[in-house]
């Protein structure tokens, strides 16, 4: 037995060491992917937007509003459903991941606006020349999308409360009708007893 354990090599006998090594590998992969993305994604995304806008101020305004609204409204709505009570943690995780994926266009635009690297600055220059108004109206659309999610959630909550209140009032009305019917029966019986006496 001791010969077999010795033949396995380092890390096989200790699951904690394997997990630590796996975690370090995953973190290193994430860091490398971040630096690669930071060097390529802003420039690539700016080129995709520039191809759509093609230097037109009207197109930059419309496309910016569309991207800002849709890719804020849908992810926030999905995220609000993820945070709803009664959902399992696994479902919440999947919904949060879906919300992040749906928000990627706005996150990439935000990376261009807030980024400090050369790719972000190149993306800004591309959007300045070939995508006028896109960044500003993406912000306007994002604010409108967030406000729309707040409005939708308010309407859903108020409707749920109104249904609950209507149910309570319906129960109260039924109870009062039953009491009125009992009182009417009692009066009828009392009148009959008086007539019979």
Q: Which has the closest alpha carbon to 106: 64, 60, 152?
A: 64
Contacts of 26 (CB under 8 A, 6+ apart): none
Distances (CA, A) of 14 to 11, 20, 23, 140: 5, 10, 15, 54
Helix-strand-coil split of the chain, %, nearest 5: 85, 0, 15
Residue 185, in any domain of the structure: yes
Global pTM exceeds 0.75: no
**pLDDT number for residue 153:** 92
The verdict on residue 8 lying in a domain is no
pLDDT at residue 71 above 80? yes
Within a domain: 2: no
- Is residue 184 situated within a structural domain? yes
Domain membership of residue 144 (yes or no) is yes
124: domain range? 15-196
* Total structural domains within the chain: 1
Question: Is 3 domain-assigned?
Answer: no
- Separation of alpha carbons 104 and 127, rounded Å: 18
Residue 135: HSE in the Cβ half-sphere, 13 Å Cα cutoff: 20
Q: Is residue 107 part of a domain?
A: yes
The model's pLDDT over 31-65, given as tens digits with 9 standing for 90+, comes to: 999 889 888 999 999 999 999 999 999 999 999 99
* Best mean pLDDT range from 4-13, 42-51, 170-179, 185-194: 42-51
Domain-embedded: residue 6:
no
| DSSP of 66-112 | HHHHHHHHHHHHHHHHHTSTT--HHHHHHHHHHHHHHTHHHHHHHHH
């Amino acid at each position: 037995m001791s010969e077999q354990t010795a033949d396995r090599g380092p890390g096989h006998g200790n699951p904690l060491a394997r997990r630590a090594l796996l975690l370090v590998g995953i973190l290193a992969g994430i860091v490398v992917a971040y630096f690669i993305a930071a060097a390529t994604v802003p420039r690539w995304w700016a080129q995709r937007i520039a191809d759509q806008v093609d230097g037109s101020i009207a197109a930059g305004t419309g496309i910016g509003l569309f991207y800002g609204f849709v890719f804020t409204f849908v992810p926030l709505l999905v995220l609000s459903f993820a945070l709803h009570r009664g959902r399992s943690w696994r479902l919440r995780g999947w919904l949060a991941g879906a919300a992040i994926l749906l928000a990627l266009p706005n996150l990439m635009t935000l990376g261009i606006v807030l980024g400090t690297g050369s790719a972000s600055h190149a993306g800004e220059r591309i959007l300045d020349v070939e995508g006028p108004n896109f960044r500003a109206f993406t912000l306007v659309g994002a604010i409108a999308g967030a406000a729309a999610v707040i409005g939708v959630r308010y309407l859903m909550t108020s409707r749920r409360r109104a249904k609950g209140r209507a149910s309570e009032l319906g129960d109260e009305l039924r109870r009062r009708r039953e009491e009125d019917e009992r009182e009417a029966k009692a009066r009828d019986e009392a009148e009959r007893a008086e007539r019979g006496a």
